[in-house]
A and B are shown apart, each in its own frame.
Chain A
Amino acid sequence: MERETGTWRVKSGMAQMLKGGVIMDVTTAEQARIAEDAGAVAVMALERVPSDIRAEGGVARMAAIEKIEEIIRTVTIPVMAKARIGHFVEAQILQQLGVDYIDESEVLTPADDAHHIDKHGFTVPFVCGCRNLGEALRRVSEGAAMIRTKGEAGTGDIVEAVRHARSVIGEMRRLTTLGSEQLVAAAKDLGAPIDLLRVVAETGHLPVVNFAAGGIATPADAALMMQLGVDGVFVGSGIFKSEHPDRAAAAIVRATAHYGDPAVLAEVSRGIGAPMRGQQATMIPEADRLATRGW
């Protein structure tokens, strides 16, 4: 029997297997092992965590090849890696290396100020960030098989993640109340394809899995996003910038799995040390915000 690779079902199905889980940013093989041992469903390989990118400045690019390969060799869980927005050659290289998912990410310095990668042409699936439903559906129409709300990466401040999740979920809820003639106008306002809008209006949710990202620093933050209705969480600087990364990682994993159980949330929040110090997202000047990258 013929085996078909890279089908939509195989790409979006991969994200379905990550639901209810935590995807952790790692910069070394050692961190990847800590993440796996804590129960991460995947790791995101990158050169520097977002809070360091923010602090140090410079151009942020795809991680070093050797580092990605070392991380792939070290863990059995899926390995994701970030490519710059629009940098389809970084994506080609990451696919060649055998990463399991590519994050076309605003955390890196964009390579194209008008276009995202045409993701349909790849066998490897992509996840992309969004701040609202229109942005989410534009990414899906380009071939993203998974979406994450952007939040404001590297801050440890959950407010932008909450804003973006509420925006996406609220807009979807509104669509389900519209008549079909109103959907065309809504498509124009949102800047999103009408066929995808109709799917959302019918089902009340995105056609792909939707995680939260950008600012999650504690077990309570992770459970907050889950209770708001996302399918899982990305944690960037929140783990390896905390006092005890291994404990923080395990606690955030359990909080995500048992997000609706305050008894578990209280138990796992105890004795994990200090979270990352963080930076108030609303104090960051517009030009320095990562979430506004992407179109």
Chain B
Amino acid sequence: MVTVAGSTSAHPARPRVGVLAIQGDVAEHLAALSRCGAEAVPVRRAAEIDGLDGIVLPGGESTAIGLIAREDGVLDALRRYVDQGGAVWGTCAGLILLARDAGHAQPLIGALDVVVERNAFGPQVFSFETDVTIAGLEGGPFRAVFIRAPAISAAGPGVDVLAALDDDRIVMVRQGRLLATAFHPELTGDDRLHRWFVELCGAQSSVVHA
């Protein structure tokens, strides 16, 4: 699903990948990224975003993260980072923050051309885990943990759908160097998606869009 052009010359051997550390399961992402060979750093300030090879927006409460990030200028910095071609991966709350429309008045980055339904599966008693087939991912189905999870109800023409549930709800997409999952790969110990994202970060702008 990702084609990385050329060899290593222009690519950092050890990409520096941030995790937005305002609130949520930051430590879990940092640990997974480190296991995948990245220099993983927590990011709280707008100025810390410059120079990153990629950034993860973790799981958490999207309203809380969005409000604090807006007040501190971090949302604007993330929008600029996306405009400059930065690699961003949002998981759950991070997907909501990336989305163009979350169906609720709250601060968003708005760069990902999708409409998201928050709490799409209902309250916590309906949170679940299941096996999901991800387009192009080797090694079989991915154990996906959905916690008060959102789902994508509409995706624009530039958005590749990489995974959906058997009720057709979209749960993973890619738009250029933006990646989003409604579930939490950082909770499973299966590092395949983190490894993929670290490769995407290391590939800089030489990623060939399919």
Contact = CB atoms under 8 A, between A and B. Distances in A.
Which of B23, B63, B68, B165 has the most CB atoms of chain A within a 10 A radius of its CB? B23
Interface stretch (A5-13, A148-156, A269-277, A283-291): A5-13
A4 B187 contact: no
Interface in A155-185: none
A253 interface: yes
Interface string B117-147: 0110011111111111000000001000111
Contact of A21 (B28, B61, B127): B61
Contacts of B22: 20, 257
Nearest to A79: B123
Given A16-B25, A39-B63, A4 B130 contact: yes
Query: For chain A, what secondary structure do more than half of its interface residues adopt (helix, strand, loop), or is it mixed?
Result: loop
A36 interface: yes
Interface residues of A, number: 42
Nearest to A261: B44
Contacts of A258: 44
A18 B125 contact: no
A123 interface: yes
Given A36-B63, A254-B71, A257-B68, A78 B124 contact: yes
Contact of A41 (B23, B122, B141): B23
B26 interface: yes
B92 interface: yes
A253 B61 CA distance: 12
Contacts of B141: 1
Interface string A53-92: 0000000000000000000100011110000000000000
A18 B61 contact: yes
Given A17-B25, A257-B68, A42 B124 contact: no
Contact of B23 (A19, A72, A95): A19
A50 interface: no
Given A7-B129, A76-B63, A77-B63, A17 B124 contact: no
Interface in B21-55: 21-28, 44
A6 B187 contact: no
Nearest to B92: A17
A258 B130 CA distance: 35
Which of A10, A21, A78 has the most CB atoms of chain B within a 10 A radius of its CB? A10
B63 A1 contact: no
Nearest to B64: A39
A100 B187 contact: no
B59 A17 contact: yes
Contacts of B166: 1
A17 B128 contact: no
A125 B124 contact: yes
B145 A10 contact: yes
B67 interface: yes
Contact of B147 (A10, A40, A95, A98): A10
Contacts of A257: 22-23, 44, 68
B184 interface: yes
A125 B127 CA distance: 11
Given A1-B132, A9-B129, A258-B44, A14 B148 contact: yes
Interface in A80-126: 95, 98-101, 123-125
Contacts of B60: 17-21, 41
Which of B64, B68, B165 has the most CB atoms of chain A within a 10 A radius of its CB? B64
A265 B36 CA distance: 35
A5 B61 contact: no
Interface string B146-158: 1110000000000
Contact of B126 (A5, A9, A18, A42): A5
B23 A42 contact: no
Interface string B100-125: 00001000000000000011001111
12 contacts: A1-B130, A2-B130, A4-B129, A13-B25, A19-B25, A20-B22, A37-B67, A95-B125, A99-B123, A101-B124, A124-B125, A261-B44
Top 10 nearest A-B pairs (CB, nearest first) are A100-B124, A20-B23, A3-B128, A98-B123, A41-B61, A39-B67, A39-B64, A16-B25, A10-B127, A1-B130
Given A20-B24, A124-B124, 9 more contacts: A1-B132, A1-B166, A14-B127, A17-B92, A19-B23, A19-B27, A95-B125, A98-B125, A125-B124
Interface of B: 21-28, 44, 59-61, 63-64, 67-68, 71, 92-93, 104, 118-119, 122-132, 141, 145-148, 165-166, 184, 187-188
